[in-house]
Structure formats: structure tokens, C-alpha cells
Amino acid sequence: MQKANAPKEFNLREICTTFVCLPRVLRLIWDASPSLVMGMAFIMLLQGVTPLATVIIARLLIDGALQGIMYGTIQPIVLPVILQLVVNLINRFCMRLHATLQILLNHRLSDHMTLLILRKASTLDLTFFENAEFYDRLTRARQEVINKPLLLIVQLFSLGSSLVTTIVMLGLLFQLSWWLALVALVVPIPSFLADSRYGLRNYWRALWQSPRKRQQLYIVDLLTTDTYNKEIKQFNLTHFFTERYHVLSDQMYQEDKQLQAKHICISLLWSLLPMLASAGLYFYVAFQAIQRRISLGALTQYTIAINEVSRNCQGMLDSLSEIYEYHLFINTLFDFLAYEPQIVAPAHPAHLEIPVGTEGLDIEFHNVSFTYPGKSEPVLKNISFTLHAGESVALVGQNGVGKTTLVKLLTRLYNPDEGEILIGGCNIKEYDPHELREQIGVIFQDYVKYHMTAGENIGIGRVTEIENHTLVDSAARKSGADRIIARLDKGYDAMLGRRFEQGVDLSGGEWQKLALARAFMRDTPILILDEPTSALDAQAEYDIFQSFRHLTAGRTVIFVSHRFSTVRLADRIFVIERGHIIESGSHQELLDLRGKYTELFNLQAEAYR
Ligand code: ADP
């Protein structure tokens, strides 16, 4: 739990600083749809002045009725009745239109915010996604903030509308007495202050509960996602996880209940004051009527006006405290948008285009060291080597020695802490990371199984060519995925994975062949395959590596593998241990060395005997 986020106390200065950021929120809402925002603003203004018309019509009606009684005619009440009908029609129309515009704006705004979050997230480095605090902000931005801008703008317009009503009603009351207007204006303020304090607590409570909400989301994911379902059933974990979910829910429910109970007591207490004040004002106005200082119509007008001022002042203050609360939530989004990636293109990036073949560019690691954030022990220590263009190198070593990390450094998913990585003699930091990644075809050990069609699963390896069926088919043939696709009813159009309609699941090895085809889509001068055949059967692996030399001819290839039948095909093999390359050479050279490689090789050969 985030102890740093202990609830803060309400303070006026903090409210003011929060409101300074309001223009940024408005900009965000405006960008989603200027026309819808303008439409809503206009309706709100119109709704602000209609109460004035109602009050004046009520006065005309009552005074007209009295005249009618006196002269025995209905003529004086005809006009007020027609006017009230028109006002009601306008009011009704405005309400319907407002509801419709709100639905449309909600649509636009949540799309706009989601895209903003997705676009920002896509620019950020991998390290951010491995940091719990960042994840917390991202989840809160996605889940708690999405609906807040709409709620904020609705409250802002409601505030504007109440302000207009209050001003016109105060104008009416002012005609009778200035102090009447003043009392009606100031009485709701204490209740507002009490509500704002609650709004702040509400926000801090949500912040405080956020890590637990994330745990709940994770449990929901575990219990509802096909990939986890097998194991959950096998280990009978449903009760264990639902119970854990329930405990978290219950804790948060009790916290909410306490806060709501406190709020309702305080709010009721403070709302007594405006009620008493209104009663006093009513008495004063009625007394004026008894004294024949004002007509019965005017009495009605003033009592409605008192009621409207008090209702709208309270409404305005409620809107202010809600705007404040929503604004606190929206700040989470701005905190998230303020993250800046570390791995970015330099101002003037060097151009990178690597030709295929021996005239390609060498890859050099110079004294490269790297420690994962939050860890004390480096994964890679002072690693140096040169990969010549067109060479194939296998990385060998036990699990967790840093083989994948080395690959991640080369693709600039991380920056080395020390040393440098050069391609063609130039530090890779000098290149635009996008351009660098365009030159490298990678399939990671934990490749993605896209729940999309078979063709798309391969095509996204080079997204600009996703519709190029000849290329997709040729990539599929290289990895052997074409035979899997031929067995599917809809071929390349077959939906894969169980998440969407008519989706078919594949075996681990079949998915891996598709991922391999994805890497072949690119036809890049550098190819990195991190355990590319771990899920394939012996026959499939044999088939792929039979054609491997041909498939990778002229390309620089780095592959990580635990199978020595594959490893031996490499021009050079690096044996990695405790962050260092302890042996390097061809298969035969390393066997002759009778070192770690020979030990690992014999261990595996032993298992097959
Ligand atoms: P290999 O590919 O050789 O199996 P890795 O390069 O994946 O090993 O990992 C090397 C070490 O770094 C392991 O001890 C692993 O636990 C650790 N490690 C890998 N990824 C991360 C990460 N994102 N954050 C912290 N430690 C990590």
C-alpha cells in the first residue's frame, strides 16, 4: 500500500492551486469535440435564464387572476398562461437536447482520453512498465479518470447556469431590500466548505485504495481469462481467489461506509442553516404583503426568488466542490502524461541503413554493463565482443544469466549503465530507436499470441505490408506456419485464440511457428531469435534449421537456444556465465576447449542416451 499517499487535510490554498490547472482540463475537453461543448454551454445558459421568466410569469398570473376576480374576465390570465407554455416547451427541449449532447460528448471524450493514454504509453520505455508506481498511475488514469472530464464539464455548465439564475434572482430581491439579497447569498457557504472537505477525503480514499483495486483487477483477470483457466481449475483455486477478492472488497466497503456516514451527518447539520435563513426571509416577505407594501403576485415572485437564490447558491457551491474533486482525479492523468521516456531519438539522428551481406555493418559491445532498476547485482558486467556482418552467433548459458538482457540492450529496450554498443562504428544512441528497430527482426521468448487472424498474426511483423498476401505467405513458408494455416478452415482469415468469435486455439509449437514467420516478414539485415524453437517438436526444429542457413544467408543472426543441435549451426558460440562471456568459438573449438560448453553439451547428450 502507498503509505506516501496518506490523506491530506483540506486547505483553501490547495483548492486555489488546483483550480489554476482548470484551463488545461478545459482544453482537454474542448479538444474532444468543440461543437458539442459549445452546444452544451449554450443550453446551460438558456436554462439559467428560464427561472427568471417563470418567476415573472407567476407574478403576472397571480396579479392577473386577482384582476380577473375583480372585473369578472379571464383576459388578464391568457398571456401569462401562453408564456408559461412557451417557457415549458423551451425547457423541455433544452433538457432533451442536453441529455443527448451529454451522451455524445461522453463517447467522444472517453475515446479521446483513452487514445491520449495509449499514445503516451506507447512512447514510454519498457522500464516504466516494470515499475509498480507507474503501473498504479496508468491503471488509475485508465479506470478512475476516464469519466471525470465529462462529469467536470457538466458541473461547470451547471455552475454557469446557476450563476446566471442567481444573479437575475438577486436582482429581483435587490428591488425589495439589499440585505435580503445578501443573506440569501452567504448562508449556503458553510455547507460548501464542509462538502469540499469531504470531496478531498473522497479523492484520497480512492488513491489509498488504488493498489487494492489493482489486485482485484488482477484476480478478475485470472478467473476470466482462457489462458489461466486451466491451471485455476486444476489447482481448485477459484474459492481461494474469490475469497481474496471478497476480503479486499469488504475492507474498501467499510472504509467507504465510514466516510459516507460522516459526510451525511455533517452535510445535514450544515444544511439546517440555509433552511432556517430561508424560513426567516419567507416570513419577512409575507409580512410585507400583510402590511400591503407588496401585491400577492409580488409575494409569490419574491418567495420563489428567495427559494431560487438559496437553491442555486447551494447548487453552485456543490458544483464547485465536485469540480474540485473531479479535478483532483484528472490530475492523475496529467501526472501520467508528464512521464518522459529516456530512450528517445537524438535531435539530429544518424541515418541507419544496413545492407545485407558482408558489406553490412559490424555490431560491437564495448565494456557493456547493466543492472536492472531496483536490483543491486549487475546482470551483465563489462561485456565486449564484435559481431561481423553476416555472422551467426548463438548465446548459450543457464537460465537467468542475461542472454535476453543482452538482446534487449541491442534493440534499445534498455540503455546500458556503462560502456557502449556500436553498429557500423556509431553508438546506437545516435540512431533513432524506431529506425534501429526497423533493421532488426526479433522474436522474443515470451512472444505475443495475438488474438487476430492467422494472416494478421504474421503480417504485423511488417505492418505496412500486412495486406501483402504474397509476402505473408512466403514468411509462413519459411517458418513452416503455412502447413498449420492450410489445416485451418478459413486459412489466413481464421481467427486465432479463444477470445473472439470462431477463434481457434493452437498448440505452443504452432503459435511459435507463427511468431517465427512474423520475424521473417521483416527481411531485416539483423535477426534475433530468443529460443525460437523451444516449443517445437524435434522434427519441426530439424526442418527449420535445415533451411535456416538459407533463410538467414547474408544476415547477422543472434540466437539464444538450449538445444545444442541448433547451437552447433552457429558460426560462433558465446557461453555466458555470471554476467561475463566465459568462452567463445565454433562448436568444435569449444568442444576442444573442454570447458563449460563441453560440460553443458555432455549434460544434454547424456539425457538423450
Ligand atoms: P536469460 O535470458 O539468460 O534466461 P535474462 O536476461 O532474462 O536471462 O535475465 C537475467 C536476470 O535478470 C535474471 O536473474 C532475471 O531475473 C533478471 N531480470 C530479467 N528481467 C528483469 C526485469 N525486468 N527486472 C528485474 N530483473 C530482471
- Distances 517 to 148, 454, 455, 505, 562 between C-alpha atoms, Å: 44, 11, 10, 17, 21
Query: In this structure, are residues 209 and 258 in contact, taking their beta carbons and an 8 Å threshold?
Result: no
Going from the Cα of 608 to the center of ligand 1, the distance in angstroms, rounded, reads 29
Atom number, ligand 1, closest to the C-alpha of residue 401: 3
Going from the Cα of 287 to the center of ligand 1, the distance in angstroms, rounded, reads 83
Going from the Cα of 405 to the center of ligand 1, the distance in angstroms, rounded, reads 6
Nearest CA to ligand 1 atom 24: 372
Going from the Cα of 406 to the center of ligand 1, the distance in angstroms, rounded, reads 10
Nearest CA to ligand 1 atom 7: 404
Going from the Cα of 403 to the center of ligand 1, the distance in angstroms, rounded, reads 8
The whole-number pLDDT of residue 5 equals 41
Going from the Cα of 420 to the center of ligand 1, the distance in angstroms, rounded, reads 20
Atom number, ligand 1, closest to the C-alpha of residue 407: 6
Atom number, ligand 1, closest to the C-alpha of residue 405: 6
CA–CA dist 147, 334 (Å, integer): 15
Going from the Cα of 404 to the center of ligand 1, the distance in angstroms, rounded, reads 7
- Distances 486 to 454, 483, 514 between C-alpha atoms, Å: 11, 5, 13
The whole-number pLDDT of residue 354 equals 78
The whole-number pLDDT of residue 129 equals 87
Q: Give residues (CB < 6 A) around ligand 1.
A: 130, 372, 375, 379, 397, 399-405
Going from the Cα of 365 to the center of ligand 1, the distance in angstroms, rounded, reads 19
- φ, ψ for residue 381 (rounded to 5)? -125, 115
Cβ neighbors of 220 (< 8 A, separation 6 or more) are: 245
Nearest CA to ligand 1 atom 14: 400
Going from the Cα of 400 to the center of ligand 1, the distance in angstroms, rounded, reads 5
Ligand 1 pocket: which of 126, 396, 405, 413 to mutate (most atoms <8 Å of CB)? Answer: 405
Going from the Cα of 378 to the center of ligand 1, the distance in angstroms, rounded, reads 10
Going from the Cα of 366 to the center of ligand 1, the distance in angstroms, rounded, reads 21
Ligand 1 pocket: which of 404, 530, 561, 578 to mutate (most atoms <8 Å of CB)? Answer: 404
Nearest CA to ligand 1 atom 21: 372
Ligand 1 pocket: which of 127, 134, 395, 401 to mutate (most atoms <8 Å of CB)? Answer: 401
- The model carries a pTM of 0.74
DSSP, collapsed to helix, strand or coil, labels residue 495 as: strand
List of the chain residues with pLDDT < 50: 1-10
Going from the Cα of 384 to the center of ligand 1, the distance in angstroms, rounded, reads 19
In the chain, the amino acid numbered 378 is P
Q: Any idea which residue has 484528472 for its cell? A: 330
Atom number, ligand 1, closest to the C-alpha of residue 130: 23
Nearest CA to ligand 1 atom 1: 400
Atom number, ligand 1, closest to the C-alpha of residue 374: 25
Helix (H) or strand (E) holding 559: strand 556-560
Going from the Cα of 371 to the center of ligand 1, the distance in angstroms, rounded, reads 10
Decide the pairing of beta strands 380-387 and 440-443.
unpaired
Atom number, ligand 1, closest to the C-alpha of residue 560: 2
The whole-number pLDDT of residue 6 equals 40
HSE-up (13 A, CA, CB side) for residue 237: 16
The whole-number pLDDT of residue 18 equals 62
The whole-number pLDDT of residue 1 equals 34
Nearest CA to ligand 1 atom 26: 372
Q: Any idea which residue has 416570513 for its cell? A: 283
Going from the Cα of 379 to the center of ligand 1, the distance in angstroms, rounded, reads 7
Atom number, ligand 1, closest to the C-alpha of residue 399: 4
In the chain, the amino acid numbered 94 is C
Nearest CA to ligand 1 atom 23: 130
Atom number, ligand 1, closest to the C-alpha of residue 398: 3
| Long-range own/partner contacts, residues 116-125 (CB < 8 A, 24 or more apart) | 116/28, 116/333, 116/337, 117/141, 117/142, 117/333, 117/336, 120/336, 120/337, 120/339, 123/341, 124/339, 124/341, 125/341, 125/342, 125/343, 125/413, 125/414
Cell of 532: 525460437
Going from the Cα of 527 to the center of ligand 1, the distance in angstroms, rounded, reads 21
The whole-number pLDDT of residue 3 equals 37
Nearest CA to ligand 1 atom 8: 400
The whole-number pLDDT of residue 467 equals 93
Nearest CA to ligand 1 atom 6: 402
The whole-number pLDDT of residue 322 equals 79
- Distances 12 to 192, 321, 324, 411 between C-alpha atoms, Å: 12, 12, 11, 50
Nearest CA to ligand 1 atom 13: 400
Going from the Cα of 401 to the center of ligand 1, the distance in angstroms, rounded, reads 7
Query: In this structure, are residues 418 and 367 in contact, taking their beta carbons and an 8 Å threshold?
Result: yes
